[in-house]
Each structure stands twice: as structure tokens, then as C-alpha cells.
Amino acid sequence: MDRELSRREARRITPSEAAYRVKSGDWIDYGAALAQPDLFDRALAARKDELTDIKIRSCLSTVPRAVLEVDPERKHFHWYSWHFSGYDRKHHDAGRCHYIPCNLGEIPDYYRRFIEPPDVVVLKVCEVDANGFFNLSLANLWHKAVVARAKIVIVEVSQGLPYVCGPENGIHISDVDYVIDGGSAAPPQIANPPPSDTDRAVARLIAAEIDNGACLQIGIGAMPNAVCSLLLESGVRELGLHTEMLTDGIIDLYKAGLITGTHKTTDPKKIVCSFGFGSDVLYRAVHNNPDFVCAPVDYTNVPNRIMQNKGVVAINNTTQLDLQGQASSESAGHRHISGTGGQLQFVRGAYASEDGKAFICLSSTYERHGVRQSRIVLELTPGNIVTTPRSDVMYVVTEFGMVNLKGKSVPERAIALIGLAHPDFREGLEREAYTHGLIPRGARGAL
């Protein structure tokens, strides 16, 4: 079939017919988050015994993927991910999923410059609108860059997805080869666990640093969302929002009238994100709502755009921090657990913003096999990935306090971070810091 005719007509076909466009050895893109296809995935899994060496790029899988469930020995399908969800992590632990290191905001450029054109891309989208665009819903990310390079473009149209505004949040029908009817199932929801006392303690310290008119980036996790809860009670007003991920906590601030965006330089009065996960409350709030803009991730995440807004506040989690300030936020030793995401880019963008602040937050301890351990350590666990280098880390916050590491020497950093550790671990950390020369003998008084 002539390719130009195919794209102009965007033929409607069944999931099985779409899956038959795949041949052994192909690279397939499933997109990310809410854009991952369901019916096509099941149809492709049904062809397992006919195919070999199918390589699939993905990101943040929200529900089980049929191609993984039917092929536990990886004889037919190979799964690659830009950022792990809990489901992806489980398959990585079993040797069936491979992480692709990245800064999330650079991924569109990877497809344009470094990645060979995918053989097939399949994305879940909204029904075509009056202007001929399939809306990307709440998952813009790098999807348009993939579509521009892919040899075959298939969309799985879902009546259940929210329609989300944005001048670049759609794929034109002329760029699509095939259309699948994806039904009307509601998008998957992510439960928000209630914040712990530790989350609230950390959030209280961060919320006190946020001024009227600040422009927020809220990362994933209980602590950043706890900040949203504290801000509801803090009296702060006229906030802006320019973030990678939209969460329920942000919607709570929006509904309370605290996010106006009136002080933003980029996209004033708009809530800007690149994708979103949450409850039905979030999906209903963004549907056909012009206050929200879903944009490509190389628009939301690049530091030189983030910094254009005054008073940017970036709030992100980490899982381990060494006494020099290196933040490891994505692995536990050689076991990969999530991804770099946009953390480093937002830390840099917030720092470069006029009056900007970047917060890395963590609980002081965690429990493993019934034993409490410190998240603040002399040195990172062997194999741990440094997500944010010591030269970039600004504010560090635990339930025991906050410190700004900018301008501090290694001994000053070590002493400050020991003060943020749980009291049960401080003496041991100080002893290790002296033994390994991070704090010179007799230096504490001089510091």
C-alpha cells in the first residue's frame, strides 16, 4: 500500500489486524503512562508463537502488559523502559525488563538524533477532533517525536481518556496509518497513600520556604504530595505550576484557588505538565479544561525554560544521600527501582531561576528485613546510581531539619547532613566521617 495514501486515510482496523503489521525483529514503541495500548498489546501477545526478537520501548506501565505475561522466559518479547513503575520493576527483578538511562526531558532528542526509526509505534489517544487531531490526553511526553520517525503509526482510540488542552497535544490524522477502536474503559487510577508523620514533618519545613507567587514543580511520592496538603493550610497564594507530572495534590491546590499562574513568565495563568497520573478526580478536573496545558517533555523539563519563571520551587524525593551530598534516587545498589526522570533537570532549572529553590527530601531512616537503617550514609551503597550530583544539590530536608549545601565545603556538608540523620545514627556517621577524612580531626570547632 502507498504510504502517503495510507497515512491520509488512516484506515480503521481491528487489533488483530494491527498486530499483524509486526514482524520478527521489529522495534515497537508503546509510549508512556496513559498512552500505552491495551487491545493491541493483547493482540500482539496472541501472536507470541509466530514472532521472535520483538523489542518494545515503554515507560511507567500502569497495568500488566500481555506481552510480558505470556512470555516469562523472554523468548519472544523484550521490554525496555525509560522509567520504572512498580510493575516494570517486578519484571526487571525477574530479568525481563531493561532500563534505558536518560534525563526524561531529553528523550525527544534521542529519537530525533540517536535512535533508529521505530518499526511500529502504537499509542492510546482520544478520538479525532474536528481539526483532524487525535488528542494525546494526559501523556504528551516524547510521543510526537516518535510518531515523526516511526515507519508505521497506529493509534488506539479510547473514549475513556480525558481530553487535555495544549497546542502541541495531538497527532494529526495525516501522520497516522491505522486506527483501532480502543473502547471506553476508564484510565487506570493510582491511589495516594495518606502521608506519614515523617512526610508531614518534612512537608512542613518545605512549605514554610514557599512564598506567594512561587512556581512549583511537584515530584512523585508521598512527601511532595504532603507539601501540597500543607500549602492548603499555609496561607500562601497565587502559585504557579510548571511540572513534569500532574498529581492529585496539585489538583487539590487548584480547586482551592491557590494556583493562579498570574506571576509566571512562561504560559501565564496555565498549569503546565507533560503527563499525569492519579485518581478520577484528577482526570475529571483536566478534561476539556483550558486552565491545563499538556506539553512535550522537552518543553516542560529543559532547565533553560524552567528558569524563565521567577521563584521556581522544585520538590523531589531521594532514597539515599551520602555525607558529601550525592543523591541516589533511582536504584538500590545494582537493582534499578525507578529512573532519573526529571529530577536533575528541575534541580538545575530551579537553581537557575531568580529566587529559585530546589529541595531534595527523604525520611532519615527506612526498615529492611525488620532492621532500621539510615538513608544518610558515609558512602552510597555499592552500585547505587547518583541521580543528582553533590555539585547540584541545594536544600536537603529530613524530618529533623533542613540545610542548604550550596557553598559548603566537604567537612561543612558532612557535619550538616549528620545533623539531619536520625539521632540513633549520628554518632556512628560522625565517627566514619572522621575516620575517612571528610571531617579533619579537631576541625568541628573551626567549622
Is the model's pLDDT at 230 over the cut of 50? yes
- Across the range 252-277, mean pLDDT stands at 97
CA proximity to 447, closest of 402, 423, 417: 417
Least confident of 151-155, 187-191, 394-398: 187-191
Residue 92 · residue 99 · CB < 8 Å: yes
**What is the Cα–Cα distance from 385 to 389, expressed in whole angstroms?**
10
CA proximity to 35, closest of 62, 68, 56, 15: 62
In the CATH hierarchy, which fold is given to the domain comprising 197-435? Glutaconate Coenzyme A-transferase (3.40.1080)
pLDDT score recorded for residue 192: 77
Which residue ranges make up each domain of the chain? 3-181, 197-435
- Across the range 258-263, mean pLDDT stands at 97
In the CATH hierarchy, which fold is given to the domain comprising 3-181? Glutaconate Coenzyme A-transferase (3.40.1080)
**What is the Cα–Cα distance from 430 to 414, expressed in whole angstroms?**
8
**What is the Cα–Cα distance from 48 to 50, expressed in whole angstroms?**
5
Is the Cα dihedral 107, 109, 112, 113 positive or negative?
A: negative
7-46 pLDDT, tens digit per residue, is: 556 899 999 999 999 999 999 999 999 999 999 999 999 9
Is the model's pLDDT at 445 over the cut of 60? no
Task: Say which of 73, 168, 238, 244 is annotated catalytic.
Answer: 244
**What is the Cα–Cα distance from 16 to 43, expressed in whole angstroms?**
5
Cell 560522625 found at: 430
Question: In the chain, helix, strand, coil percent, each to 5?
Answer: 30, 25, 45
Is the model's pLDDT at 134 over the cut of 90? yes
The yes-or-no answer on residue 244 being catalytic is yes
Is the model's pLDDT at 98 over the cut of 90? yes
- Across the range 158-165, mean pLDDT stands at 98
Residue 409 · residue 387 · CB < 8 Å: no
**Residue 367 confidence class, pLDDT cut points 50, 70, 90:** very high
Is the model's pLDDT at 1 over the cut of 80? no
- Across the range 154-167, mean pLDDT stands at 98
**What is the Cα–Cα distance from 70 to 369, expressed in whole angstroms?**
32
**Residue 190 confidence class, pLDDT cut points 50, 70, 90:** confident
DSSP 114: T
Domains 3-181 and 197-435 share a fold: yes
- Supply the DSSP string of 198-255, one letter for each residue: HHHHHHHHHHTTPPTT-EEEE-SSHHHHHHHHHHHHH---SBEEE-SEE-HHHHHHHH
**What is the Cα–Cα distance from 19 to 53, expressed in whole angstroms?**
15
pLDDT score recorded for residue 194: 84
- Calculate the average pLDDT of the chain: 95
Cell 531539619 found at: 401
- Across the range 80-93, mean pLDDT stands at 97
78 grid coordinates? 523484550
- Across the range 53-66, mean pLDDT stands at 97
Residue 37: φ, ψ to 5°: -75, 150
pTM: 0.95
- Across the range 72-84, mean pLDDT stands at 96
pLDDT score recorded for residue 224: 86
pLDDT score recorded for residue 233: 87
Is the model's pLDDT at 4 over the cut of 70? no
**Residue 222 confidence class, pLDDT cut points 50, 70, 90:** confident
Is the model's pLDDT at 378 over the cut of 50? yes
**Residue 443 confidence class, pLDDT cut points 50, 70, 90:** low
Q: How many CB atoms lie within 10 A of CB 145?
A: 19
233-255 pLDDT, tens digit per residue, is: 888 999 999 999 999 999 999 99
CA 5 to mean position of chain CA atoms: 37
Q: How many CB atoms lie within 10 A of CB 115?
A: 17
Is the model's pLDDT at 227 over the cut of 80? yes
Residue 215 · residue 311 · CB < 8 Å: yes
233 grid coordinates? 493550610
**Residue 220 confidence class, pLDDT cut points 50, 70, 90:** confident
